[in-house]
Structure 1
Amino acid sequence: MTEQGYITRTIEISGRTFSVDIGRVAGQASAGVLARYGETVVLVAATREALREGLDFFPLTVDYEERHYAVGRIPGSFMKREGRPGEKAILAARLIDRSIRPLFPRNFTQDVHVVALVMSVDQDCSPAITAILGASVALTLSDIPFAGPVGAVIMGMVDGQLVVNPTLEQDEKSDLHLTVAGTREAINMVEAGAKEVSEEIIVEALTKAHAEIQRIAEWVGEIRAEVEPLGLAHPKIEVPANEPGPELVEAVRSAGYEKMRAAVHHCKNERLDKKSADRHLEGTKAEIINAVLENFPEEEQRLKSLVDKLEKEAVRELVLKEKVRLDGRAFDEIRDISVEVNVLPRTHGSGLFQRGQTQVLSVLTLGAVRDEQILDGLDTQETKRFMHHYNFPSFSTGEARPIRSAGRREIGHGALAGRALEAVLPGEDVFPYTIRIVSEVLSSNGSTSMASVCGSCLALMDAGVPIKAPVAGIAMGLIKEGDEVAVLTDIQGTEDHLGDMDFKVAGTEQGVTALQMDIKIAGITPEILAQAMAQAREARLYILDRYKEVIPGPRPEISPRAPRIIHTTIDPEKIRDIIGPGGKIIRKITETTGVDIDVEDDGRVFITAPDPEGGKKALEIIKTLTAEVKVGEVYLGRVVKIMDFGCFVEVIPGVLGLPGKDGLVHISHLAHNRVRKVEDVVREGDQILVKAIGFDNQGRLKLSKKEAMEPPAGGAGETGRPGLIQDDRPDRRPRSRFSRR
């Protein structure tokens, strides 16, 4: 222990030091630690409230708070203060929540609040991983019952090699970003984005990740044993058993077990849909409750809980013992699928995907560079050109609730589906559009996020976005009792609710693009995950084949209702030539052509036009404004001024009322013979061929007419004024790079 009264413990993770200060901060919390990974620092505090009576769920809240001072910035908002958490902060909070939630006792119903305050960010050391590990230490040292500790790592793949906790540079090159959390015994949380990585590599990465997780979790466990005698770890509180009496349990089982089994079998035999099955099962449960309630009038709450457990037991027994599911499907059977595109006539692209009673309509909009989302987070990314938003209205589940703004679930599902599609989107150099997709859940019976992946892929192809390959998604489930395991393909709502796992897998024919796993048990092994991924691949390929029946690939042209974007690159030094003083020139271009123009600092120019003609006209103007005269090239120019010593020739015409680029043809360069008077050879308005021969010491262009022509045969001189172009011009006129308007 230090003189200040706290201790620090460290561990090496991927060549960088992770440390926790214990007893230093947040003294009034149940436990608080200052977690440090490299130069990333996150304060994590865990607190609990007193027991609340009547709760039948675990009220866990996780907040991940980003502070802009962590990267030396002042918030960009008007108030210059952090507001509600952004998308990345919400996703990080969900990572922490999903890593720890399965490890609390099932009958524990006290409010628990975990706060991760990001105070310093080293871009090479993930603050989200730092926060998960800090939460693991804080909960392990607290008096809160917790079946941890937890470890967590990110797995990357750079140049075909798996890397633990990649640096920022490695992550930018990586084909895989796989976040894994778990205990010494098993994995309990997976989140990934990938660039069509094979299932075999994913399983290998999970295995390597778990080995590192075990080492970290072991270290956290040793910390508790070490600091407990020092008073820095607290005895765990006892969780009241709150178990119903044996008489009530027996009464429910006697009155309801056979009825519930019969109800479950009826749903299976009749292959009832969600609404019909729910109605039948709820009716059976009400019948059982009413039969038992007469003898136990004061036990209504516990009675409902026991009947719910009876339903769960009957459904799980059906799966494990009879090898069939509630709706009569086999373990690897997918519900009926429907695929439609071009559903909405005035949008840029739309796709309607239905799987069983899950139905999602995805709608795509293409926009200009200026439509990119501006980010104000703690990482190095400043803008986002692809957005996927997910909406889950109450009518999709048959409920009558007011529609509110997007919550954490909606943001999480939207991000997952977006991540699944990012790997196949064309680069900005190929397709310079901002892309926004909105997935509207119209009916929900399991796996709406994966249906959003499918609907969004259809919308992309319908809009003519040149994606690298189609993407499909599927949700896998698990029912596990001891050594008995059933992995289910395409789970519906009841299987999600009563099962042990929701494992979402999205990808192309070549490989995986996104993963997400949520579980309700302490953890599962890599072997079970490998089986789930193998089944998911078969399902994914089946869905992709269904796409081909309706739309085999992206349309050859983008939607006629979408804007046309033309992309060009200019010398950054020439940006001022198209902007003009106070933006005068660029405003004139947009007013003249009806386009929008975005100019990047690196010289990239994006022209967004409502029609092709306007875009082409704007591009021609920009090329003219930024054109350079190259020494040695021949141009067809126009004589704009006659002087005694020569003439000025405009070689690049002016646009928008602005002067073009001209140069001087000295009288000695008008012809091969001696010229007494300029007007003997040219007059104002004539078009002549000239060659750029250099610049004078003041940067003014020098041109030559005689060097643009063949020398006269036998040295004969020119006689008289030749007219538009001399007779001795070359047989093949050199082509100018720029044409007059």
Structure 2
Amino acid sequence: MKRIFELELYGKKMSFEVGRLAKQANAALLARHGDTALLVTTVLAEKAREGLDFFPLLVDFEERYYSAGKVPGGFIKREGRPSETAILSGRMIDRSIRSLFPEWMRNDVHVVSTVMSVDQKNPANILGINGASLALAISDIPWNGPIGAVRIGCINGELVVNPDETDIPNSTLDLVVAGHRGGITMVEAGAKEVSEDLLVDAMELANEAVRKIVDFIDGVVAEIGKPKAQLPAPAVIEEIDNWVKDNLTDEIYEAVQINQKQARGAAIAAAQQKAEDQFAESYPDSSKYIASLMDEMVKKAVRKLLVTDRKRADGRAMDELRPITCEVDILPMTHGSALFTRGETQSLGVTTLGMIGLDDQMMDGLKLDEPSKRFILHYNFPPYSVGEVRPMRGPGRREIGHGALAERALRAVFPDDESFPYVVRQVSDILESNGSSSMASVCSGSLSMMAAGVPVKKAVAGIAMGLIADGGQICILTDIQGLEDHYGDMDFKVAGTRDGVTALQMDNKAGGITRQILTDALTQAKRGRFQILDIMDSAIAAPRPDLAPTAPKIVTFNIDPEKIRDVIGSGGKTIRGIVQQTGAKVDVEDSGKVSVAAVNDDAAQMAVKIIKDIVREVEAGETFVGTVTRMLSFGAFVEVLPGKEGLLHVSEISNYRVPTIEEAFEIGDKVIVTVKEIDDMHRVNLSRKRILDKLDELALDPVFAEQVPAEKAREERYSQFPKGGGERRDGGGRDRGDRDRGDRGHDRSRGGSSDGDRQGRPARRFERDRKN
């Protein structure tokens, strides 16, 4: 039976419709927030999977292009691989709900959020978390929820719950918080250098809103919730448990205190092998049970070491960083590179500069008119970084998530396109990993961009914090390594500058976190971040003033949008010619903004000059080195600017009589000319003889110097022609107001020909040529 449940939250309404769609799932609902709607389904596998050492939860976030009234791009017009936005949204749901499933559970659970309608105002990912929470809560799937999720913005200094998408660009904070009645389970944030106090205030406001959502879901469960399925818990073999506890507890405790990751793993593996050998005959199939038991023993040993004995595996103090080294200019031919090493975690950051319009990333998502990305960070995690052997594949959800976090941290200091008209692709290759490689990517990215000459506003550093709560005691750890991350209760990553936080991510399994714990953790993270920034400053303290020699040189300028067609040319012919001639890349925006990129400045300036010559108007009195393109009996057409020709009449060639135009020029000849006039029909009339007395002066100008000797030689040759009847002083028709240009056709002293010429055919041919 169809039921609709509605929640009013801070002036906005969410509704959840149950009982109409996807009724064969364990639970399904249509969640709506404004006109954004998602179908959320949850399904539980009937049988547990044998041999797994983890809970098999799968969360998919499916975007349907019809939800935004769009057709997918590309050749195949259907949805393909999930977009980065969909992957990150799926990860956000996963991180919010995973910790509330029973640890021993091995039945597959599949949560699918399908975006069916998008209003461009209310975000689908927040609705997806709340929809998944309600679906799991009313289903028969064992789960210790419910949870709620909200988005917090800071607009004009005021914290706002669930701001519209259109308000986020004006917000200094974009914070997503998910949690249950006992506390926060997931935090994801990007910020514009906000203070730690503001973050704590925002999370407290979010917690208040989350409790309202949880109360609402509890009410729905009370009405329509199903009894939870009773899944069989894993069997306990007391004989093995007791033997391991009596014989290996001390050995495991000593093993977790070994500093080196691989040596520590080998010691734990040796202890596990002892247990397997002990029960090889009595329990021949117990190896997976023993492995699970050993993992639990290691967890207890790590937590005892930290909380009770106040010691860390590598001997550091709770707020002490691992040794850090920073190096720049690692790779000679890249635009920028840096190596950041912290303990056994190492990130190689490489910066590549590209051109706006050609190298930026086009976003094909559900947003309408979604802008392309100028700053892109890609994170790679090869298997050798953790000493493993496995096939190299494309980036998975983890890699995309880590890269998005580092990108968000650095985007806050990235320059705008007016001051820095480049696209930047930042790559982080993880060469070693033992804790917080995403924060190492932030540091290597900051160093690499500074080394490349990218004018980032400030240096950014990232640090991973940990928290363990046991027996009423709290332990906050700075710069956690993999062991502390895996067996701890909270993973708390903070990135920022000296002036504030730019990114934050938290996953919490510890239950309630008080304001004091959050404040202490952020304060401790701030101290660690400042220490890292001090070390980074010793390698490179500010962006280099010049780009790397291998980086493209980009020049931007604006032209009249009406002139864009002249630059592009028919079918792109003109712009392709510019690229072929100069070797530069050229991009023209609809606004008239032109970007020219080339490896060297000479090529860039050549392309700029060609484009500016195309769009500018010729003015009377200007002097050019032109190229003869066509010849008629009465003169030559000379191209003075790309696509712009003028007529050089035979009477304007020299102070001497030139018998025929063919004796003066050949097609392709270079000639110095000046613009005599631009007539009422916008035709350009040129003269050569008017600048002959200025040749010595022009020889001092680099633009004309090379051509001047040729002009002097040409004039010397003209002086040898017989003068005959001499030069007409009436201007041959041109100087007397340019009466019909066809008159030149029957002026025999100008090289005219037959009676047909006197009938006006040359005039018609001239006008046709001018139009062509």
Fold similarity call, TM over 0.5: yes
Q: Is the 1:42–1:116 Cα contact (8 Å) retained in structure 2?
A: yes
Q: Tell me what 1:371 maps to.
A: 359
Does residue 210 of structure 2 align to residue 213 of structure 1?
Answer: yes
Q: Equivalences for 1:44-443 in 2 at 5 Å? A: 44-52=40-48, 53-226=50-223, 228=224, 233-242=225-234, 244-265=236-257, 267=258, 272-291=259-278, 299-369=286-356, 370-380=358-368, 381-443=370-432
TM-score, length basis structure 1: 0.84
Q: Tell me what 2:573 maps to.
A: 584
Q: State the 1:33 CA deviation.
A: 0.3
- Could you list the per-position Cα deviations for residues 444-479 of structure 1 after superposition, in whole angstroms to 9, with x for gaps in the alignment? 111111111111111101111110001111111111
Note the residue ranges of structure 2 that are not aligned, 5 or more in a row.
627-636, 648-670, 695-704, 708-772
What SS does structure 1 have at the residue aligned with 2:47?
coil
Q: CA RMSD in A?
A: 3.3
2:305 maps to a residue whose letter is L
In the alignment, the residues of structure 2 paired with residue 193 and residue 288 of structure 1 have an alpha-carbon distance, to the nearest angstrom, of 47
Which of residues 496, 501, 523 is equivalent to 1:534? Answer: 523
Q: State the 1:24 CA deviation.
A: 1.4
Q: State the 1:20 CA deviation.
A: 0.5
Q: State the 1:236 CA deviation.
A: 0.6
In the alignment, the residues of structure 2 paired with residue 8 and residue 686 of structure 1 have an alpha-carbon distance, to the nearest angstrom, of 82
Q: Equivalences for 1:523-562 in 2 at 5 Å? A: 524-562=513-551
- Could you list the per-position Cα deviations for residues 424-445 of structure 1 after superposition, in whole angstroms to 9, with x for gaps in the alignment? 1111111111111211111111
In the alignment, the residues of structure 2 paired with residue 275 and residue 688 of structure 1 have an alpha-carbon distance, to the nearest angstrom, of 80
Q: Tell me what 1:19 maps to.
A: 15
Q: Tell me what 2:735 maps to.
A: none
What SS does structure 2 have at the residue aligned with 1:347?
coil
- Could you list the per-position Cα deviations for residues 522-558 of structure 1 after superposition, in whole angstroms to 9, with x for gaps in the alignment? 4534432322211111111111111111111111111
Q: State the 1:660 CA deviation.
A: 6.0
1:202–1:654 Cα change, 3 Å:
farther
1:589–1:55 Cα change, 3 Å:
closer
In the alignment, the residues of structure 1 paired with residue 623 and residue 388 of structure 2 have an alpha-carbon distance, to the nearest angstrom, of 74
TM-score, length basis structure 2: 0.81
Q: Is the 2:675–2:684 Cα contact (8 Å) retained in structure 1?
A: no
Q: State the 1:315 CA deviation.
A: 1.4
In the alignment, the residues of structure 2 paired with residue 722 and residue 339 of structure 1 have an alpha-carbon distance, to the nearest angstrom, of 63
Q: Tell me what 2:644 maps to.
A: 659
2:507 maps to a residue whose letter is D
**Which sits farther off after the overlay, 35-44 or 379-388?**
379-388
- Could you list the per-position Cα deviations for residues 190-218 of structure 1 after superposition, in whole angstroms to 9, with x for gaps in the alignment? 11111111111111111111111111111
- Could you list the per-position Cα deviations for residues 21-64 of structure 1 after superposition, in whole angstroms to 9, with x for gaps in the alignment? 01111100000000001110100000000132443321000000
1:447–1:386 Cα change, 3 Å:
same
Q: State the 1:174 CA deviation.
A: 1.2
Q: Tell me what 1:42 maps to.
A: 38
Q: State the 1:585 CA deviation.
A: 2.0
**Which sits farther off after the overlay, 472-481 or 247-256?**
247-256
Q: Is the 2:178–2:186 Cα contact (8 Å) retained in structure 1?
A: yes
1:661–1:254 Cα change, 3 Å:
farther
Q: Is the 1:367–1:433 Cα contact (8 Å) retained in structure 2?
A: yes
- Could you list the per-position Cα deviations for residues 115-162 of structure 1 after superposition, in whole angstroms to 9, with x for gaps in the alignment? 000011111100001111111110011000111111111111112221
In the alignment, the residues of structure 1 paired with residue 244 and residue 159 of structure 2 have an alpha-carbon distance, to the nearest angstrom, of 53
Does residue 474 of structure 2 align to residue 485 of structure 1?
Answer: yes
- Could you list the per-position Cα deviations for residues 377-397 of structure 1 after superposition, in whole angstroms to 9, with x for gaps in the alignment? 112324222211111111111
1:660–1:190 Cα change, 3 Å:
farther
Which of residues 499, 502, 505 is equivalent to 1:516? Answer: 505
Q: Is the 1:349–1:365 Cα contact (8 Å) retained in structure 2?
A: yes
Question: Once the two structures are aligned, what percentage of the paired residues are identical?
Answer: 47
Q: State the 1:106 CA deviation.
A: 1.4
- Could you list the per-position Cα deviations for residues 219-254 of structure 1 after superposition, in whole angstroms to 9, with x for gaps in the alignment? 11111112x2xxxx3111123333525554333222
1:317 maps to a residue whose letter is K
Q: Tell me what 2:661 maps to.
A: none
What SS does structure 1 have at the residue aligned with 2:640?
coil
What SS does structure 2 have at the residue aligned with 1:260?
helix
In the alignment, the residues of structure 1 paired with residue 398 and residue 123 of structure 2 have an alpha-carbon distance, to the nearest angstrom, of 23
Note the residue ranges of structure 1 that are not aligned, 5 or more in a row.
641-649, 663-683, 704-720, 726-738
Q: Is the 1:590–1:597 Cα contact (8 Å) retained in structure 2?
A: yes
Q: Is the 1:639–1:688 Cα contact (8 Å) retained in structure 2?
A: no
In the alignment, the residues of structure 2 paired with residue 137 and residue 654 of structure 1 have an alpha-carbon distance, to the nearest angstrom, of 73
- Could you list the per-position Cα deviations for residues 379-422 of structure 1 after superposition, in whole angstroms to 9, with x for gaps in the alignment? 23242222111111111111111111111111111111111111
Q: Is the 1:624–1:653 Cα contact (8 Å) retained in structure 2?
A: no
Q: Is the 2:184–2:508 Cα contact (8 Å) retained in structure 1?
A: no
Q: Is the 1:288–1:307 Cα contact (8 Å) retained in structure 2?
A: no
In the alignment, the residues of structure 2 paired with residue 507 and residue 661 of structure 1 have an alpha-carbon distance, to the nearest angstrom, of 61
1:173 maps to a residue whose letter is N
